[in-house]
Structure formats: C-alpha cells, structure tokens
Structure 1
C-alpha cells in the first residue's frame, strides 16, 4: 500500500535546497549558499546529459529521497560500463517506507534502458543498515574508498620517510662492524710457517 504513495521525478533547480540538506554529509565544507549553488550545478549537468539522471523520490507528495545516476566505466582500469549510483539517500522521516528500494529500482531500470551491464554504488563504511540493504540487493563489497586532504597525506609520507642523517649513521655503524669482523678474522689466521735454516757444516 505504501509503495503506491511513492513517485519519482527528475530533480529541478527548486530542489537544490532539499538536496543540500539531504546530502549535507556528502558535500564539501562551505557556506550553505555555496552548497546550494553546487547542487544547482549538479542538477543543471544532469538535465543536460543523457548519461546522467538526478531523481527525487516523493512520498505522498513530500520530497523523501534522491539519487544521482551516472554512466561511466566500472573503474579507471576496468573499462566495462556501469551505472554509478551516487548517494541514494532517504530522509529520516521517510525511511522503511520503500523509498530506498524505489531509488535502486530506478537505477536498475536506467542501466537496463542504456544496455549497461553493471550497477555500482558507494555506501558509507560505518552504516551497517545501508550495507546490509545493498547486500540484500546482490551488491557485493569490492573495495574501500578512502579520502584525506592532500596536505595530510604529504605530512604522513614525509614523517615516515627515513632521514639522511639516520641512514648515514646506520651506514657508518655497519661499516665499523664489518671492519672489526675482518680484523678479527685476520688475527685468527696463522702466518706462513718458518723454514728451518740448514745446520752449520761439521768439521
């Protein structure tokens, strides 16, 4: 019964505010108006591209969830086509009403219409419910996507790199140890045997 209350439509510019609140954890850190402007650009790009769909699900006429669908390759190395299901999200007040399943059904339908053989979706690693939901839809885990600021990555790399002074000291220490071992071996090797002199002639 609740399923009949769900409708799905393409997003419009007027949905930018709703999408900004819905996807607040997925957007860049910025002022609210800048985030809204970002979503307006995303909506515009989706409207102009046949390889994208930005959909809003409504429950009984109220915006309840959204998803961005994009056709691309599975990865930069695996060139098979896939529909990337970006941030399929349901507003808290409308969860467990079939909205999430409807959004994923739209993703599968989009892939079928385009003749795309795969569906890929990113799920927050800490969301147990979302991961279980996707697993029930036959979507298996194939990797972990990690993100960090460039400066933080550079700082960690620099901190873990051996310094020249420490590597030089280690090299000098090794040289001294090897030299001591060679000296010890030379001390243990007996010298050449002395040849006895001939006895003096007898009278």
Structure 2
C-alpha cells in the first residue's frame, strides 16, 4: 500500500493548466493559452450542469489524473442513458498507484447517483495498457471510433471530382488512355 493517499475531487478553474498538459493530445490544436481557456470553459460548463462533472484525482497533493463525465445516451439511435467517461487519463509518473481505479470509481459513483445502468469509455486504440485495464474492469469493446480530416475523406470518396476552376483535361486524357489499354488487352485475350 502506498504511503500517499489519493484524493478525488471536482475540478476547479485553477486545474485548467494541468489538465491542458494531461489532455494535450485530446484538446484542439491551438496556442497553449487558448487550450487552457477552452478547458476553463469546459470546467465552468460542467460545474453549471447536473449532467456533467470533471473529476481530478490527486496523488501526493499533485493532480495525477482526470476524467470528464457526462450523462448521454448510448448512441443517437439507442436512447438508453449512460455515463460517458471521456478521456480518463493518468500522468505517466502516477501510474500504478490506483489513480485509474479512482477515476473509474468516480464514473461508477456518478452513474449510481443518477440511476444510470451503463458506463461507457473510450481509450486510444494504440494504448494496449489502457485497453487491458478497461477490460479487467469489465468494459467490453463495442465499436471502433474512427476519425479523419474532412479534406482527406473527400479525396478518398470522390477522387475524380475536380476542384472549382481546375482544368480536368489531363485526367480525362489519362482516363481515355486507360480505357484504350484495357480494350486492347481484352482483344488480345480473346481466343480466335
């Protein structure tokens, strides 16, 4: 047992700089001061809503981890209520001290307080340790959440679509050459 105790509490505005560091890969790409301002708004919004809570866990009087809790539905088409445990994170130097358990305990308690039967969370696909931890707690994988920039998706969905004002002559010439090559190959392959 650790000689340090864990303290779980609701986040305050003063926690925003440390949360910006903890969630650096989850917040929008912006100047650090803008990220801190964003998190101050998130904390303020959660404090004003009975359906949200930002929880921090302190280890040795330092913020060791945090999670954003939100009451929602399982999906837009499955209206079963759930508590979303959004970005449960623990600083690397605080791992293996019970911080992750304390964060998920906070999610479970929030669900129980509100009479909700399901807790949902998402951890990075590449984080083997996080996925194993969640599996040990009984959280099963249900879906894989995928994200792509809109511009990249557009190029993959309709690669032949030309941008406005761009001459499509080159692509039409290449397409015609491919068609001729394909037709020639098919003629040579036919038995006589």
One fold, TM greater than 0.5?
yes
Is 1:67 the counterpart of 2:62? The answer is no
Aligned residues: 175
CA contact (8 A) 1:82 1:119 kept: yes
TM-score normalized with structure 2 length: 0.83
**Per-residue deviation, residues 59-90 of structure 1 (Å, max 9, x unmatched):** 12111111100000001111100000001111
Partner SS state of residue 36, structure 2: helix
Alpha-carbon distance in 1 for matches of 2:160, 2:147: 19
Cα drift, residue 92 of structure 1: 1.0
- Paired position in structure 2 for 1:82: 82
- Paired position in structure 2 for 1:40: 40
- Paired position in structure 2 for 1:14: 14
Alpha-carbon distance in 1 for matches of 2:24, 2:159: 33
Q: 1:160 to 1:143 in 2, by over 3 A?
A: farther
Query: How does 1:91-130 map onto structure 2 within 5 Å?
Result: 91-130=91-130
Partner SS state of residue 54, structure 1: strand
**Per-residue deviation, residues 84-116 of structure 1 (Å, max 9, x unmatched):** 000111111110000000110110111011011
Cα RMSD of the aligned pairs, angstroms, is: 2.6
CA contact (8 A) 1:3 1:98 kept: no
Cα drift, residue 55 of structure 1: 0.6
Larger Rg: 1
Query: How does 1:49-198 map onto structure 2 within 5 Å?
Result: 49-159=49-159
Partner SS state of residue 139, structure 2: coil
Alpha-carbon distance in 2 for matches of 1:151, 1:81: 34
Alpha-carbon distance in 2 for matches of 1:4, 1:119: 28
Detail structure 1 runs of 4+ shifted over 2 Å in the superposition: 1-4, 163-167
CA contact (8 A) 1:2 1:98 kept: no
